[in-house]
Structure 1
Amino acid sequence: MPLPKSAFSNSNLILLAITYLFYFGQFGVLMPYLGVFLDGRGFSSTEIGELFALITVARIAGPNLWAILADKSGRALRVLQLGALLTFATFSLVFYVDGFWALTFSLALMMMFWTAILPQIEGLTLNCVYGHASRYGRIRLWGSIGYILLTIFTGKMIDVFSSEAPIYVGALVLFSLFVTTLLLKAPKVEKNSSQASVSIWHKINTPVFYAFLLSVALLQLSFGAYYGFFALYLLDLDYSGQATGWLIAIGVLAEVIIFLQAGKLIKYFGVKWILVISILLTALRWYLLAVVANNPAILVFSQMLHAFSFGMTHAASMQFIHHYFGNRFQSQGQAIYLSVGFGIGGAVGGYGAGYFWQQGHGAEQTFTLAAITAVFSAISLLFVSSKRM
């Protein structure tokens, strides 16, 4: 593939797709299997939950610090490249350290730099496709493809080798991500001088944005059990590592399909109702995991709901943020979304899941509470006018 001569060229859009592939491919390595890795290192479910919570805290301050740097400097691509390099370097520490606090520190440090990446990728992509939802969806779906491929591959590597496999695969993926970012081109975004002295606070301090943040935080809180313990849950139910990888991949494959239709669905239903419907389907998904996860057919169906749990909620959220904040506050808007939703919500969800999990004995209770939390996430949006979203 020739190097891109323009940020809007097909080769640059392909590189953006590859960037998504490696970025979310790393999620396919770590999110399902970090618990398996830690379990192999002798961690209890409470310790795993605490570690997830502590490293997720890095997603609260991190995104905002990097976003301010990106917006003030106007060099979002350089921030993206620096974040990718430092993420790879700090993640590599896991090869040399052991024990709860040493691993927590290295992974939290990695997470701090990891938070620099996604807001810049999202903002860069939306600027390169002029905010067009359908074009964005076609590029973003490669993140889902990466998640599928790396999830299946890592599950197989765990079966063939050991629970240490995820860290070796993860290091390779992060290095590949860094190399890809070096090839990207960024469009020139003209600064609007009339907005130069305008604070982002007038965008944040509104009922509609508060409702959106509350919904995102509660939704990510509900994901705590899934991110921390889903793979362990399936292993406890006698599913193999490879079967676990395929089950996770089925969910993300459904996500890929829905991304292809995301633009049309958002245009037809609107951001608000896409979010409400998708979050309610997420609640159903968690309840099915709580009561009938030992039924393979129902388990496959619940995984297919990932199309809505993540695919549609993410696409709709990105559209809302892009249009709500505009170019002037794009990076900071993305950062607030990540730090509050994925940072605070994710940290509380990870800690709570570890507390209730009780080495697998509290699995049904944990997923039931997750379902209830998702219902409240949907309710928080019902009082927002559809025209405001």
Structure 2
Amino acid sequence: MPPPSVRLSCHYAALFGVVGTTLPYWSLWLHDRGLEPVAIGLITGATVWGKLLVNPLAGLAADALGRPRWVMAVLALGSLTLYAGISWVEGVVGLLLMSLGAAGLCAALMPLSETLTLAQARAGTLDYGRVRLWGSLAFIVVSFALGPVLDRVGSEPVPWIILGFLALVLVGLPSLPSGPRHPRPAPGVWRHHLLAPRFLLFLLASGLIQAGHATYYTFATLHWRAAGLDGAFIGFLWAEGVAAEVALFFLGRRMVARLGPLGLLGLGAGAGVLRWTLSAFSTEPMVLMGAQVLHAGTFACAHLGAMHFLSQTVPPALANRAQALYSTLCQGVLMGAAMSMAGPVYQAWGGRAFLLDAGWCALGGLCVAGVAWGQRRGR
């Protein structure tokens, strides 16, 4: 059997095939079903809110059972089933409920995957960044390839493409490393670690920086199309951003050693203020290409910083719950709220809605400074 790094790399590639389809093109599929921007923002935001219920339960089950792959299989099968039926659903309410379930179950796969990978990284069997980058590479290939394809055939195949990648995830789960087993922590220990003020402020900081992608994830494709950019170039822009992310992940171990987790988070916040301000005021191709390079900061730096902060501050026996809490609050509550706000703001302001994202990143940077201050004072 191939080493854990290869098996996990293939898993990330399949999982991010789903992400590379949904992030750039799910809003397009909804638009082609006749939905208005406010409804699109509501549905894409609500799919993130699905993490509120699924992620904590999945993390708790994985820690309690000690069998994260079993939990992941249930999640993948449930998501696959719902996506298989979504093309026959009509109306905003039906699409909202189906998207909520399908995307919520699928999204819960990510924190469990991260926990498995970080456990192997702690054991010294792999470099987290160099495994995780294969997910980003898959995102590049899928998002770039689908642009011209969907230009020709329309967005109707989008749910079926998602189904194909979910099937690959499901088939590959038995080959993943199971991860070490840890004794259950004493009652109340989780509160000491996961409800500490410094940890909660870290979650707020990470969530605000990630919420800075809300308008981008929801309306970038539609905004750029309205500006006259063709599907191939839009696919290139998405791919370029993730290529910058891949480069950062490749250098991840050095970046963590040099800047530390909080330094990476602060760099991500600063990059977000610049990136979203540029995106708000220009749709010129060269400006957008420059802004997309900053994805290395807004996502990759922030994500690496968050993952290593969790790895360094949370005991292994609480790792699944910590990842679930991180995903629920950062990519669920805050991202869901920001996406839901993005709809009416984009409808009213158009591209200026990206300024809201710059504001989220600025607030996130202030929270990072607060975590660093508390860390220096030993809080």
The two structures share one fold, judged by TM-score above 0.5: yes
The answer to whether structure 1 residue 315 and structure 2 residue 304 are counterparts is yes
1:207 aligns with 2:197: yes
Shift of residue 346, structure 1, vs aligned partner: 1.2
- Alpha-carbon displacement from aligned partner over 1:271-307 (angstroms, at most 9, x marks no partner): 11111111111111011000122x2111101001111
Deviation at 1:350, TM superposition (A): 0.9
Instruction: Report the AA paired with residue 328 of structure 2.
Output: S
Tell me the distance in 2 between the aligned counterparts of 1:287 and 1:35: 22
From 322, 327, 336, the equivalent of 1:333 is 322
Secondary structure of the 1:328 match is helix
2:344 counterpart (355, 378, 383): 355
AA paired with 1:30?
T
Secondary structure of 1:250's counterpart equals helix
CA change 1:299–1:14 in 2 (3 A) is same
**Aligned partners of 1:218 and 1:345 also within 8 Å:** yes
> Hey, what's the Cα distance between the residues in 1 that align with 2:142 and 2:186?
43
State the distance in 2 between where 1:141 and 1:109 align.
Answer: 27
Which letter does structure 2 place at the counterpart of 1:370?
D
1:41 corresponds to 2:30: no
The answer (yes or no) to whether the contact 1:133–1:319 under 8 Å persists in 2 is no
TM-fit CA distance, 1:116: 2.8
Alignment RMSD: 1.8
Residue number in structure 1 paired with 2:147: 155
CA contact (8 A) 1:147 1:252 kept: yes
8 A Cα contact 1:154 1:169, kept in partner: no
TM-score, length of structure 1 as denominator length? 0.92
Name the counterpart of 2:293.
304
Distance 2:53 2:143 in 1: 28
Comparing 309-318 with 91-100, greater Cα deviation is found at 91-100
Q: Aligned partners of 2:317, 2:147: CA distance in 1, in Å?
A: 42
CA distance in 1, matches of 2:30, 2:101: 17
User: What secondary structure sits across from 2:102 in the alignment?
Assistant: helix
Q: What is aligned with 2:105?
A: 113
Instruction: State the Cα distance separating 1:268 from its structure 2 match.
Output: 1.0
Q: Tell me if 1:374 matches 2:371.
A: no
Quick check: 1:134–1:263 contact (8 Å CA) kept in 2? no
Range with bigger deviation, 343-352 or 201-210: 201-210
Give yes or no for contact 1:131–1:322 (8 Å, CA) kept in 2: no
SS at match of 2:371: coil
Asked whether the 8 Å contact 1:45–1:354 carries over to 2, the reply is yes
Which of 32, 43, 48 is the aligned partner of 1:51?
A: 43
Partner amino acid, structure 2, of 1:317 = A
Cα displacement (A) at 1:19: 0.8
Q: Which amino acid aligns with 1:151?
A: S
> Deviation per CA, 1:183-222, whole angstroms, max 9, x where unpaired?
223133242x6x3434311112222112111112222322
Task: Please list the CA deviations of residues 127-182 of structure 1 after superposition, one character each: whole Å capped at 9, or x if unmatched.
Answer: 12326597111100001001101101221221120022322211111111111113
The whole-number CA distance in structure 2 between the counterparts of 1:140 and 1:27 is 14
Deviations 1:300-340 (A, max 9, x none): 01001111111111111111112211211000000110100
Question: Between the two proteins, what is the percent identity of the paired residues?
Answer: 26
Q: How does 1:57-96 map to 2 (within 5 A)?
A: 57-96=49-88
Report the Cα distance in structure 1 between the residues aligned to 2:154 and 2:309, rounded to whole angstroms: 42
Q: Residues of 2 paired with 1:102 and 1:86: CA distance?
A: 17
Contact kept, 8 Å, 1:88 with 1:171, in 2: the verdict is yes
Q: Distance in 2 between matches of 1:340 and 1:136?
A: 23
Cα distance in 2, alignment partners of residues 106 and 276 from structure 1:
36
- Which sections of structure 2, spanning at least 5 residues, go unmatched? none
Contact 2:120/2:126 (CA < 8 Å) preserved in 1? no
The answer as to 2:228 corresponding to 1:238 is yes
What residue is the counterpart of 1:102 in the other structure? 94
| In 1: Cα distance, 2:76 partner to 2:12 partner | 12
**Structure 2: distance between partners of 1:353 and 1:300:** 22
1:345 maps to which of 334, 357, 371: 334
Aligned 8 A contact 1:215 1:381 in 2 = yes
Does 1:12 pair with 2:4?
Answer: yes
Q: CA deviation at 1:43?
A: 0.4
Q: What's the offset of the Cα at 1:107?
A: 1.1
Deviates more, 1:281-290 or 1:157-166: 157-166
User: Letter of the aligned partner of 2:58 in structure 1?
Assistant: W
Partner of 2:240: 250
Matched residue SS, 1:98: coil
Residues 204-258 of structure 1, C-alpha deviations (whole Å, 9 max, x = no match): 2222112111112222322210110011011011111121111100000010011
Instruction: Tell me the number of residue pairs that the alignment of Structure 1 and Structure 2 aligns.
Output: 376
8 A Cα contact 1:148 1:249, kept in partner: yes
Q: Give the counterpart letter for 2:355 in structure 1.
A: T
**2:100 counterpart SS class:** helix
| Partner AA of 1:128 in structure 2 | Q
- Of stretches 218-227 and 379-388 in structure 1, the one that deviates more from structure 2 is 379-388
User: Within 1, Cα distance between the matches of 2:149 and 2:94?
Assistant: 25
- Ranges in structure 1 where 5+ consecutive residues have no aligned partner: 5-9
Matches within 5 A, 1:205-284: 205-284=195-274
**Aligned pair in 2 of structure 1 residues 67, 169: CA closer, same or farther (>3 Å)?**
same
